[in-house]
Amino acid sequence: MTNTNTPTNTPIRVALLGAGTVGSATARLIVEQQEELEARIGRPLQLVGVATLNPDSAKKYPWIDPSIITTDTAALCKRADIVIELIGGLEPARTFVLTAIESGASVVTANKALIAKHGPEIFAAAKQHGVDIYFEAAVGGAIPIIRPLRESLAGDRIDNIMGIVNGTTNYILDEMTTKGLDFDTALRDAQAKGYAEADPSGDVEGYDAANKAAIMATLAFHTNISIDDVSVEGITSITADDIAAATAEHKVIKLLAVCDRSEAGVSARVYPALIPDTHPLASVRGSFNAVFVKAQAADDLMFYGRGAGGDPTASAVVGDVVTEARHIAQGSIGPDIPMYAQLPMAPVEASRSAFAVRFVIHDKPGILAAIASVFAQHGISINGVNQDLKPTLHEPGYSGELQQLRLVTHLCDEITLRKVVEEVKQFDAVTGDATILRVMD
């Protein structure tokens, strides 16, 4: 760690790993704002290296000095005061981050998968070697949510976090809601506009949001919660009819990352849910993100903004770089991340919610009564029934009319609800998969 006797004109050396969309934007901010950043920090920042597997791709950016581009990432990690990791993925990112820490460099990263899987290991290494680890850009892009959880709310108790933390799925669901598109059409539109990858599974299956849920829960509950602890459901089963039913009930469907603390323990989950159109999260449109935090003293807080993109994410990355550079300039380090609580994970049966369940059924007398009877046998009370939705599915070999039956339950536990759904699906008059959505107040 640099001490306070270091001359104020000695540059703080910054190494950048990765020169993709976010990496190139980060380099541009550091280079183009050099004088202003120096004024904020008290010492100049010097970009001493940019590591990339494809040097020619980095050379197309005029603000990156070609002489500092390298393919020797490990060596670069050992000659910097701050290492910015924007490679993504688990390996070799984990190895490079630990190499940087062991060499006495602090680390700034946007790598949600790395922090969600190996966060405690990296936090412990940073503490051992007297350096910092910052990762504001790992959740919510430009939205400042990590620092509030880590520092601003350190004097409070957080009981619940509920957020829209994946712009791709929010854009798809918003397009389905506002334009009446089906899932596949909305996904193709998102890919054409650059909001979705060619392989969108990480987004639409909920895994991207799950990494972010693990990070937020770890910080909020001071407990090691990894990606392996997060229950994940995506949005691929959501149909245009689900969207239409939600709209008719003055609700919207959003993919939520939900972190809870209760007497049963803590949980982190990702799932699509119905929320009232009056809820603050209902107004989050397009690729924007928002996180709703409930704390005991601060009460309700909402953080909103652009959750992805080169420039917004680079803004969060450079913000962390400035924070760490100030620490180096002052000969200090920031607060560590205490994992003192180690609260138990709440069992799945502790989760209770109202649910909306959609079945596709043959139009036969008595089928509704038979389905309702199964729910009643398992102690699940039905709050509402809708059998007037127009069908969009056809069953080969069946010439009769297919109806869509939608049941909304009172509060019940999820395990029982899913058992009931599986039992109902065995009826000859029930076809295809059922859609299960939580109903949030």
The string of pLDDT tens digits covering residues 10-30 is 999 999 999 999 999 999 999
- The pLDDT, as a whole number, for residue 391 is 65
Residue 305 has pLDDT above 80, yes or no: yes
CA dihedral 89, 161, 346, 422 (to 10 degrees): -80
How far apart are alpha carbons 347 and 110 in whole angstroms? Answer: 31
- The pLDDT, as a whole number, for residue 392 is 64
- The pLDDT, as a whole number, for residue 2 is 44
Q: Are residues 163 and 218 in the same domain?
A: yes
Residue 290 has pLDDT above 50, yes or no: yes
Stretch 213-221: mean pLDDT, rounded? 97
CATH code, 47: 3.40.50.720
Q: Does some domain include residue 1?
A: no
Q: Which residues pair with 12 in a beta bridge?
A: 45
- The pLDDT, as a whole number, for residue 395 is 77
Residue 322 has pLDDT above 90, yes or no: yes
Give the residue with greater pLDDT, 117 vs 401: 117
Stretch 80-89: mean pLDDT, rounded? 97
Annotated binding site for NADP(+): 17-24
Give the confidence band of 1 by pLDDT, cuts at 50, 70, 90. very low
Please report which helix (H) or strand (E) contains residue 372, including its range: helix 367-377
- The pLDDT, as a whole number, for residue 304 is 95
Residue 393: DSSP 8-state: -
CB neighbourhood size of 321 (10 A): 24
Q: 32-70 burial string, b = 16+ CB within 10 Å, else e?
A: eeeeebbeebebbbbbbbbbbeeeeebeebeebeeebbb
CATH code, 209: 3.30.360.10
Q: Does some domain include residue 113?
A: yes
Determine phi and psi for 231, rounding to 5 degrees: -80, 130
Q: Are residues 161 and 302 in the same domain?
A: yes
Q: Are residues 405 and 279 in the same domain?
A: no
* Tokens found for residue 189: 């539109």
Q: Does some domain include residue 5?
A: no
- State how many domains the chain has: 3
Q: For the chain, give the percent of residues with pLDDT over 70.
A: 98
Q: Are residues 133 and 159 in the same domain?
A: no
Residue 264 has pLDDT above 50, yes or no: yes
- Domain boundary at 330, 363, 385, which? 330
> Domain residues for 54?
12-141+310-330
Among the ranges given (148-152, 252-256, 268-272, 392-396), the one the predictor scored with the smallest mean pLDDT: 392-396
- Domain boundary at 273, 290, 306, which? 306
Give the residue with greater pLDDT, 239 vs 390: 239
Give the residue with greater pLDDT, 398 vs 143: 143
Q: What is the pTM of this model?
A: 0.93
CA dihedral 60, 61, 67, 69 (to 10 degrees): -80
Q: Which residues pair with 265 in a beta bridge?
A: 262
Residue 393 has pLDDT above 80, yes or no: no
- The pLDDT, as a whole number, for residue 171 is 95
Give the confidence band of 287 by pLDDT, cuts at 50, 70, 90. confident
Q: Are residues 151 and 292 in the same domain?
A: yes
Q: Does some domain include residue 179?
A: yes
Residue 4 has pLDDT above 60, yes or no: no
The string of pLDDT tens digits covering residues 45-68 is 999 999 999 999 999 999 999 999
Q: Which of 60, 117, 179, 212 is catalytic?
A: 212
| CB of 239 closer than 8 Å to CB of 436 | no
Q: Does some domain include residue 31?
A: yes
Annotated binding site for NADPH: 112
Give the confidence band of 284 by pLDDT, cuts at 50, 70, 90. very high
For residue 37, what are the contacts with CB-CB under 8 A and spacing of at least 6?
30, 45, 318, 322, 325
Q: Are residues 152 and 296 in the same domain?
A: yes
Q: Are residues 38 and 124 in the same domain?
A: yes
Annotated binding site: 17-24, 112, 197
Stretch 159-181: mean pLDDT, rounded? 96
Stretch 111-134: mean pLDDT, rounded? 97
3-state DSSP helix/strand/coil % of the chain, to nearest 5: 40, 25, 35
Q: Does some domain include residue 341?
A: no
Q: Does some domain include residue 343?
A: no
212 is catalytic: yes
Q: What 3-state class would DSSP assign to 138?
A: helix
Q: Are residues 28 and 130 in the same domain?
A: yes
Give the residue with greater pLDDT, 253 vs 363: 253
- The pLDDT, as a whole number, for residue 348 is 80
Residue 353 has pLDDT above 80, yes or no: yes
CATH code, 419: 3.30.70.260
Q: Are residues 60 and 185 in the same domain?
A: no
Q: Does some domain include residue 243?
A: yes
Q: Which residues pair with 83 in a beta bridge?
A: 15, 107
